[in-house]
Amino acid sequence: MRAGLIIVGIILLVAGIWVTLGNGSYKQTDTVAQLGPAKIEATHEKAVPQWLGIAGIVVGGLLTIGGFVKKS
């Protein structure tokens, strides 16, 4: 169980740092206009919110520390 906590914590920590540095983005497609069966769509690339990266760093750090700390 400890190894699982450490691995998940490190993954969240790295992903949080990656997002916080501004590298996280996703694509969203919107329908701009539609006339009968014809559609005009636009794809926008949006950044993942920085608060999500910070939350990933905090949760990942806590899980990693929790995995390393032994129970008495």
> pLDDT digit string (tens) for 2-47?
888 889 999 999 999 999 888 888 899 999 999 989 999 999 999 8
The reported pLDDT for the residue numbered 25 is 87
The reported pLDDT for the residue numbered 71 is 65
Among 20, 26, 23, 21, which Cα is nearest to 54's? 20
Collapsed DSSP state (helix, strand, coil) of residue 35: strand
Residue 69 has pLDDT above 90, yes or no: no
Is the whole-model pTM more than 0.95?
no
Q: Could you give the CA distance from residue 67 to residue 65 in angstroms, rounded to a whole number?
A: 5
The reported pLDDT for the residue numbered 39 is 92
Beta bridge partners of 41: 31
